[in-house]
Structure formats: structure tokens, C-alpha cells
Structure 1
Amino acid sequence: MLACAGIVVSLMQSLIIPLVPQLPRLLNASPGDTTWAITATLLAGAVATPTVGRLGDMYGKRRMLLVSLVLLSAGSVVGALSSALFPMIIARTLQGLAAGVIPLGISIMRDELPAAKLGGATALMSASLGVGGALGLPIAALIAENADWHVLFWVSAGLGVAALVLVLALVPESSVKAGGRFDLAGAAGISAALVGLLLAVSKGAEWGWASAATLGLGTASVAVFIGWGFWELKTSQPLVNLRTLVRRQVLLTNIASLVFAFAMFSMSLTLPQVIQLPTATGYGLGQSLLAVGLVMAPSGFVMMAVAPLSAKISATWGPKWSLMAGALLVAAGYGSGVFALGAIWQLVIISSVIGAGIGIAYGAMPALVMGAVPATETASANSLNTLMRSIGTSLSSAVAGVVLAQLTASMGPVRIPSQAAFQAVMGIGAAAALTALAIAAFLPQQPKARNGSAAH
């Protein structure tokens, strides 16, 4: 049930992708303004993830899970009733605030499940972050092409309510709580720093990377992060225990997660464009958005299928080796993509290999984090790891956007990304995966991941 809730939440990331070209007309707004319907979800998720994780540790993980699902359902209803930009941004913000469901679910599993089942369960829950994104695109495309666009939000509202009811019925509240006082200043500080960073990254191409807005937000974000770090080290009950996060195992896992997420998202930025570009380009496949979804969907099923394998590798040799194996598979998938982007079957194989690597690596990340933090900080630590993945995908989007904008080819009066641009992005994805592999190699060996208990 928790994994299903995670998939429902991650579906929100790809929910409106089929609508993006039509949003200016549907919402009667400019193309630049309608991008806020996507940016709002990203920013809300970044703000909510660390805050909700800490609140879950303090006041109950199931309680905060339910709050997150209520926000998702409410946002979906608002979106279903919207026909203008402002209510749509509110709707997408509310949906983004549910991003903490996956780390909260992993933390509930640690508290409630027997040791023998924990590894496979947390691997599946962690992989749901990628599964929902992969499965959401074909579902959203099918609905968008055959029904009124508001149906997308009614469907997501129904899924949110179903998840809410089933969590109420089946998921127990954990007895592991930290208590204490909530660090409001710390929450405000990290929220401001993350909003500044992600705005600069996500809007940099539109505003100009050397513009005053982009540079100002980036500089302010760094300054706020530094001040926030000093505050968290000084306060007695911090939002994020930085002393725990700098432990070798947690620190390297989070860095590897960021780099790995950077690699993971490159697939979502290249394959859909290659599939949809006209065949007249010589490298486009001239297919519909629904075909994009059908090519990407197998990777989601593969992620779910390999979750038990990830748990088995972690239980036998340690989660470090699961992360390394996953990174190697992703690098192999992207490496193949540099040379083989000329047929649908090739793209299905590439996305499936990358999906297998994502599923194996994502399954290892919560085991590594929970193996180095006390039970009272589980939700907070898992939330920070999820946040690092989100930052990685945002950076990937920015870098790929620059590459695709610089390496172009002529198609009549317009410029489109060239074949070399797509090959370059695939190569960057392979390099990022190999970097994550190198970082993971320095993780300390942890023989067992099944019990999820703190190694210290």
C-alpha cells in the first residue's frame, strides 16, 4: 500500500507533460507564465520534503503521510476545476507538497516491518519514485488525447483519495517518535535557500544564465545555505542533524544520489524528443506522444521487477554493491544510447536497461541511509536523500537544456536539437552514472541491509 501511494505521488511529476504545449491556450496565458505550473510543483516538493520528514519523526510518520495525501487530493480537485493560470499554480503547488510520501513510507517500513521483509519493501518504495514517472506519461498521454484535459486531474484526485483511504485502513502509526520542538527558523532557512537555488536552475535558461535574476538568486541561495548551516549546528533541536549527515556513509550516499539522479533524468529529456521529431530530420522517429509513453513505460515495470534483486544484493554483499551495480547498468544503457537511437526497439531496450539500473540503485539508497542514522531521525534522513535526488534531476534538466539549445540543426525556418546534441546528453548521462559509481566505491562496507538498523 505504501509503495502504491509512492507511485501515485510520483505520477504527479509527469501528469501535465502531455499538456505543456497546449497550456498557453488552455489557461489563456503566455508560454513563459505557464511554465510556473511545472516549476511550482518542483519548488513545493523541495520545501515540503525536509520539513515533512522532520515533522514525521516528531509527531508521527503516518499522520504526516495522511496530511500529504490530503494535500495531493485537494490540489488535484483544484486543478480539475481550474481554467486559469493562478488556480492551476495553486493546484500544482498543493500536489508538490505531497512529495514527502516516499521517504515517510520508507521510514514507516523501518519501524513496522520484520527484518526479513524490510529490504525488499524499502527497495520497492524507493523505486516507486521512478516508477510513477515512467508509467505516468503513457497514462496521461492516453487521457489527454481522448478526453477533456480536466479528466487528468479528476483521475489523480481519485487515486489520491483511494490511497488516503487505504493508508487509513491498513498502515499503522509508528511508535518511534522523537518529540521535541520544531525548528521553525531552520525550516524557513532551508526553504528559502532551496527556492532560490531551484528557481535559478529551472529558470536560468529562460532568464539568461548571466542575468541579474539568475546570478542574484544563486548567490543569495549560497549565502542562506551557509547561514542555515551555522544555525543548524548551533540550535539544540535542529530541523536537520548536520552532524549525522556528514558521517561518511550518509554524506557519500547523498552525493551519489544527487549525481545518480542527474544521470537518471537525462533519459526523460532525450528519448521523448527523438521519438517525436519528424523522420525528415534523418534521426527523428516521427511518433506520437502516446508512443513516447509506450516506449518509456517498460522501464517503470522493470524498476518494480528488480526491487527484490536489489534487496537480495544488499542482503548478501551490502547495499554499497547494489548502488554500484545500478550505476554500472545505467552507464551501460546511456553508453548504448550514444550509438543506437535509430529505432523504437533500440529505445525500449535502452530505457529498460536504464530502468533496471535505477531500480537496483534506488533500492540501495534507503538501506545505506538507515544503516547510519538512529531510528528517531529516519524520516528526516530519508527526506534529505529524496531531496538530493530532486536537486539532481533539476540540475540535469538545466544542463541538458543548454546542450540541446547549443547543438542545433535547421528544419525549415526553425532550429531543432541536432543528433549530436542527443548523443552528447546520453554521453553526459553515462559519465554521471560512472561518477556515481566512483563515489559509491568509497562507501564503507555494510554486510547486511535487511534489518535497517543503525550501524553505529
Structure 2
Amino acid sequence: MHPSHDRDPARQDVLVSGVGGVGARGALGGVGARGALGVVGVLVVVEFASGVLQGYYVPQLTDIARALDIADADVNWLEGGQLALSVVALPILAKLGDLVGHRRMLLVALAVTAVASLGLAFATTFPVFLTLWAVQGVYGAWLPLEIALIAHRARTREDPQATTRAGAGVVVAALEAGAIAGALAGGSAQALLGSLRAALLVPGVLVVVALLAVLIGVRSTGERAPGRLDGRGAVLLGSALAVLTGALSLLRLQPGSGLGWGVLLLGLVLLAVFVLVERRVDDPLIDMRVLARPAVWPIQLAALLFGVSVLGAQGPLSTFVRTDPAAVGYGLGLSSGMLSVVIGAYVLALLVGALLLGPVSRLAGTLPTLIAGSTIVAVGYLALVPFHASLAEVLVAMVIAGLGSGTLVAALPAAAAAVAPAGRTAVATGLTNTGKSLGGAFASCGFAIALATGAPAGGTAGSYAGYLTVWAVCGGTALVGAVALLVVPAAAFPKRAAA
């Protein structure tokens, strides 16, 4: 990237809107009232919509399952399908963002998400709903493209890493605020609007508003990186993930099936072929050479493992707290409105964790902050294994996990941007979301199998052992992620960049 593309002082002063009061104002060098027109100010609208998408549906998952006539365990296939598609779509959109413009691809991703979100309100069968839900996962590309826009404008700043991190903190804070609003609104929307269909229209309308905000309020940087889209890599990655997801579906329907294990092996072979092909391509979809750098691969591995808990555990948490303990002996038996309170507390903790990123990283440094965040996530989920019999126990564990998750949501893409080579900012930040989505996709499918195994006969509830497995896996993978971050070279993040 070339800083000369964005040397206009007026544009430098409008990096962030007045919402920078959450902690970015000082780091960005002081922003006046005109900052409300800045790129981060517009991106706050987009990430607020993203947060609503991530929080709004969770209180309604049980109602959606009943409307589609599926069991609670099958809810995980919605998340798994969405994440699997986003794993393919995200690197493609991130790469195209570097090639043809981050603003242009952000608009494309917003438009696709809007169509899918509005379509959910009119889907009456599980296959159609699952397809639209999967396509909606394109919103996973929003944040990497946004951070790339911020990083480009920050390159002429005195400390671009700190500026990018501050901007990332602001938009992630908006994401978490949207998730809180979505969780609280999702629990009461059906009662207020009179039907599930009307309630499902709300997120789509909000995405359209975000689309218009970017269309009007964000100007193109005019920057283009050289290269081309790796179509062969995209086909191989998509095929591998489709086969792997199909294998997990077979194993869900027929545990121990020889066919299911055979298809799973085929998917792993295709994934290995994808890696080998990408290493030989001059301009790959996922640059394995960059990924293998000592400063890069631990961050990406931590993102993949983080996806297991932050994305894969949403469905199980929702269905567990709504499971009737009088019927099956476990669960909390909460209404959708009370579930909104649980989700709201969790996402509020996410917001606090994201806002603490700046001051904590200034005091402790980037790497210690990342390691601490992953460790805190592990503590929260592992606490759920013995402590889940009351609302208070679940709330405490989820708030702990939320604090660590909020730190990682903001820190991982900013850390990836900091070590990215010029012209690969969106790809590097996109890799963190790709890895996170990949971890979440496999976890969701695996959790669906765990919850279906040993489930009470004749009912819709997931199995008790399955829920314990979910929380243990989430905690264990977070611990492994913390260990992986220990090997990042300290020189990758100089002390000045942590300020």
C-alpha cells in the first residue's frame, strides 16, 4: 500500500466519529465534531448491524426450531452451514477487496447479506431456511474489509498500528453494542410484532440501512493491490468444506457410519490438496507462505481455536437455558425474554473486554493481552462444566468468558493487520475471521453430533453429556490458543505499537 494515496489532511482528521469517546479519541490524535463524517463513524453503523445479526436470533432459536419442526440439536446445523460458507466467501471477498477496492466489496457483502436476511422471514422449510442462513454468513467479511479501510487511512499517522487498533476497538465496540441491542430486542420482538415472520424482518431492514450508510458516507481510497483472484483455490476450498460438512451430517444421522468416516477422510484429503496447491500459486487465495511466518501462524491458530467457543457455543447456550429441567432434569427453563438477559449480559461483557483492549495493551503489551484474553475465555467455559445448575452460575461463567472474548474479537484482527505485508491487509485480517469461522463451523457440526448422542427419546432436548462436552471443548481449545500465542516473536509487536 502507498501512503501517498491518502495524504489529504482533512481526510486524516476524520478517521473517527464522535463515538471515539469510548477510548479511541486520544489514540487517534483528537477528533472534532467534523469527525462524525469519518470512515469509522460510518463503519460503526455497519458493525452495529453486524452485532444485531449475531445477537438478535439467539433468543429465538428454539422458536425457529419449533416453526421449522426440527430438534434442538439440529439448530447447530444452521450455525455450521453459515460458518462453512463464510469460510469460503470471506477470503474471496477479502482478496477482492485488496484487488478491486475494500469499499466496493463491502457494499457487495452488505447487499448479499441484506437479501438473505430479508428472505429468512419468508422461508417455511428447513432446507430453504438453512440455505438463506448460510448465505447470510457473508457478513463475516464486513469487519476485515472495514479494518482494511481504517488501516489504509492510518498509514500516514505517526503510529499506524495504534491508530488501526483504536479504530478497530471503536467498530468492535459498536458490534458488541449491536449484539446487546439485538439480544434484548430478539427476546421481545415476536411478542411486540405479533409473529415470528415479522420479527425476522427486522435484521434485514437494519442491514439495508447499513448498506445505504456505506454507499453515501464512505469514499473509495482508490488503492488497488496487484494480483488476481485464485479461482482454483476457491473451488478446492469450497469443495473440501462441502465434503467435510456432508461427512459430519452423515455421522450425525448414522454415528459410526463407515460411509461418513470415508467421506470425512476425502474431505481432509481435499483440504491437504488445497494447501499444496496454494503453496505453488504465485497469488493464492490464502497465502500459505505468509501464514507460515512465525509472527502470523500463532495468531491465526488462536483465531481458529477461538472460533470454537465464540461461534460454535451460541446455539448450545441458547437451547440449554431454555430446556425445561422439570422434563429432562437439566437446563434452566427460561423464556425467550429471560434468555435475552443472559445473552445481553454476555455481550455486555464482550463490549467491556473490547473497550479494555486499548488501555490494557498499553500497560501490558499486545502479546500478553492476547494470551490473557484466551486464558479468561478458557476459565469461563471450563467453569460451566461443574457450575450450570442456576441462572446465577451460568451468568457468572458467561460474563467471564465474555470479557476474554471481547478482547480477542478486537485484538486478533488488529494484530493480524499489524504484521501484514503491504497490499495484504484485508487478506491478513480476513484470515483471522476465516480461521475463526472454520473453527466455529467444525465445532457447530461436532456439537450437533454431541448433543444428539444420548438425547432423551421422544423429545427435542439435547443430551446432558453433550452440553458438558461443548463447554469442556470450548475451554480446552481456548487454553491451547493461549499456549500457541506464547511462541509469537516479541519483536512482532514493538512496545511503541502497543501504546
Paired position in structure 2 for 1:340: 387
Give the drift of 1:23: 5.1
Paired position in structure 1 for 2:152: 111
Which structure 2 residues correspond to residues 192-231 of structure 1 after superposition, within 5 A?
192-201=239-248, 203-211=249-257, 214-231=260-277
Give distance in 2, aligned partners of 1:334 and 1:27. 30
Paired position in structure 2 for 1:350: 397
Give distance in 1, aligned partners of 2:371 and 2:377. 10
Report the CA distance shift for 1:196/1:95 in structure 2 as closer, same or farther (over 3 A).
Answer: same
1:233 aligns with 2:279: yes
1:427 aligns with 2:468: no
1:2 aligns with 2:48: no
Out of 62-71 and 207-216, give the one that drifted further. Answer: 207-216
Report the CA distance shift for 1:251/1:129 in structure 2 as closer, same or farther (over 3 A).
Answer: farther
Tell me if structure 2 keeps the 8 A contact 1:117–1:450. Answer: no
Paired position in structure 2 for 1:311: 358
Q: Aligned match of 1:53 in 94, 97, 101?
A: 94
Tell me if structure 2 keeps the 8 A contact 1:285–1:342. Answer: yes
Cα deviation, 1:28-64, whole Å, max 9, x if unaligned, reads 8999999876554333322210100100010101110
Letter in 1 for 2:105: M
Give distance in 2, aligned partners of 1:266 and 1:74. 24
Tell me if structure 1 keeps the 8 A contact 2:290–2:296. Answer: yes
Tell me if structure 2 keeps the 8 A contact 1:80–1:151. Answer: yes
Cα deviation, 1:82-139, whole Å, max 9, x if unaligned, reads 4455654553344223321111111111112443532122245457777766654443
Give the drift of 1:405: 4.2
Give distance in 1, aligned partners of 2:400 and 2:480. 18
Paired position in structure 1 for 2:483: 438
Tell me if structure 2 keeps the 8 A contact 1:4–1:163. Answer: yes
Give the drift of 1:256: 1.3
Letter in 2 for 1:430: G
Paired position in structure 2 for 1:248: 294
Unaligned runs of 5+ in 1: none
Give the drift of 1:435: 1.4
Q: Aligned match of 1:42 in 68, 71, 83?
A: 83
Letter in 2 for 1:236: D
Out of 435-444 and 12-21, give the one that drifted further. Answer: 12-21
Give the drift of 1:322: 1.5
Tell me if structure 1 keeps the 8 A contact 2:189–2:199. Answer: yes
Tell me if structure 2 keeps the 8 A contact 1:232–1:240. Answer: yes
**How many positions carry a matched residue from both structures?**
449
Which structure 2 residues correspond to residues 22-37 of structure 1 after superposition, within 5 A?
26=67
Paired position in structure 2 for 1:79: 120
Tell me if structure 1 keeps the 8 A contact 2:59–2:340. Answer: no
Out of 289-298 and 137-146, give the one that drifted further. Answer: 137-146
Give distance in 1, aligned partners of 2:434 and 2:475. 22
Cα deviation, 1:182-239, whole Å, max 9, x if unaligned, reads 22112212222222223434x2553334335533432232222222223222222222
Report the CA distance shift for 1:131/1:216 in structure 2 as closer, same or farther (over 3 A).
Answer: farther
Tell me if structure 2 keeps the 8 A contact 1:329–1:356. Answer: yes
Out of 101-110 and 281-290, give the one that drifted further. Answer: 281-290
Give the drift of 1:443: 1.4
Give the drift of 1:20: 4.8
Unaligned runs of 5+ in 2: 1-41
Give the drift of 1:406: 4.5
Give distance in 1, aligned partners of 2:120 and 2:460. 34
Report the CA distance shift for 1:427/1:77 in structure 2 as closer, same or farther (over 3 A).
Answer: closer
What RMSD over aligned residues (CA atoms) do the two structures have, in Å?
3.3
Which structure 2 residues correspond to residues 53-202 of structure 1 after superposition, within 5 A?
53-84=94-125, 88-113=129-154, 114=157, 115=160, 116-125=162-171, 136-146=182-192, 147-201=194-248
Letter in 1 for 2:97: G
Give the drift of 1:243: 0.7
Normalised to the residue count of structure 1, the TM-score between the two structures is 0.86
Tell me if structure 2 keeps the 8 A contact 1:253–1:365. Answer: yes
Give distance in 2, aligned partners of 1:221 and 1:347. 36
Q: Aligned match of 2:310 in 243, 264, 277?
A: 264
Cα deviation, 1:249-300, whole Å, max 9, x if unaligned, reads 2111111111222233465355434422334355433221221121111221
Structure 1 residue matching 2:239: 3-state secondary structure: helix
Out of 305-314 and 206-215, give the one that drifted further. Answer: 206-215
Query: Percent identical across equivalent pairs?
Result: 24
Letter in 1 for 2:323: L
Give the drift of 1:359: 0.8
Tell me if structure 1 keeps the 8 A contact 2:298–2:488. Answer: yes
Report the CA distance shift for 1:406/1:78 in structure 2 as closer, same or farther (over 3 A).
Answer: closer
Cα deviation, 1:334-393, whole Å, max 9, x if unaligned, reads 233233323222322221111100011222212321222213111112212101111212
Paired position in structure 1 for 2:323: 277
Q: Aligned match of 1:376 in 423, 428, 433?
A: 423
